[in-house]
Each structure stands twice: as structure tokens, then as C-alpha cells.
Amino acid sequence: MTIPNLLTIARILLTPVLVWLLLNDRLTAAMVVFFIAGLSDGLDGFLARVFNQHSRLGAYLDPLADKFLLVTSFVLLGYTGLMPVWLVIITVGRDLMILLGIFTLYHYRVNVEIKPLLSSKLTTLCQLAAIFAMLASSLIRLPDFMYTALFLVTAGFSVYSGARYFAVGKSLLDKHRCAGTG
């Protein structure tokens, strides 16, 4: 068990704490937990690179921990009325589509390298910013147009990166089918 993997597991364990805080309307504390979880995400990647502690478990666990934290945050912020439902549907729908695509590729025995696209990294950054902005709204309230702009940018990147993943997955499946018939 590497230190980056332990940090990833800690991030997974922070998600239920975040849930409890959000359900109990403790936005400031939830913001602190979310910030710590975000720091652990950056730190685990940094440590994995610097100390060459990459692992197969980490390659699967890290994106799973990120999705668990982000999807849970979006769903709960939507449930509490802090996040627009349309944005929750777009962001969670994108992740479900990616997961369904991975399962489809796995079903057809297509080798998939878990490697995020640049558009996906930008999407994650926007999603993190949207969640953090809503959690921080208990301390600092921005003008409504700024939230709207952030939500629209987040939705745009979510749709774009979802489409890119769909295209990559379709291409992999097409190549696999051609190789199998040739």
C-alpha cells in the first residue's frame, strides 16, 4: 500500500463526512472537508510522480475516488437546492455515460488504458470550482451572474469532454471489431 493510495482512500472516507455535513446544512465545515479532499487529490498525484509510487490499484482507485466525491457533491448540492438540477443531470449523466462506456468496452474485451483527456481535466477543474463556489456561498455570496457563468462553463466542458470520451470509446470499439473480423 503506497502513500498516494492511502491518501486516495482517505479521500473516499471523507466523502461520507461531506454528506453528513451537507445534509445537516453545515456548508462552511463541508467546504473545509471538500478543500482537504481536493488537497489530498493533488498530493497523491504529486507523491506518486515524485516518488515513482504509481500502482495499478491507484490508477483505478484515484479516478473512482474523484468521481465518488464529485458526483456525491453534485447530487447533494442539487438535493439541497444549492446547485441547479440541470447541471446535476449533465455532470452525473456524463459520468454515468463514461462508466457505461467502460463497461461496454470491458464486455467486448477491449483493452482500455485509464488516462484522462485534457478536456476531462478541465471539466474536473470546472466542477470543483462550481462545488467549491456553492460551499463557499455560506461565507461569500457572489453575484448571481457569476454563478450562472460558472454553471454554464461547467456544463459546456462536461458535455464536450463526455462527447470526446464517447468518440474515443467508439473508436476503440470500432478498431477492436475490425481487428476481430480481419
How many domains are there within the chain? 1
- Within 10 angstroms of residue 17's Cβ, the number of other Cβ atoms is 15
- Within 10 angstroms of residue 23's Cβ, the number of other Cβ atoms is 12
Range of the structural domain that residue 142 is part of: 3-181
What pTM was estimated for this model as a whole?
0.89
CATH number at residue 9: 1.20.120.1760
pLDDT tens digits, one per residue of 74-85 = 999 999 999 999
pLDDT tens digits, one per residue of 88-123 = 999 999 999 999 999 999 999 998 877 778 999 899
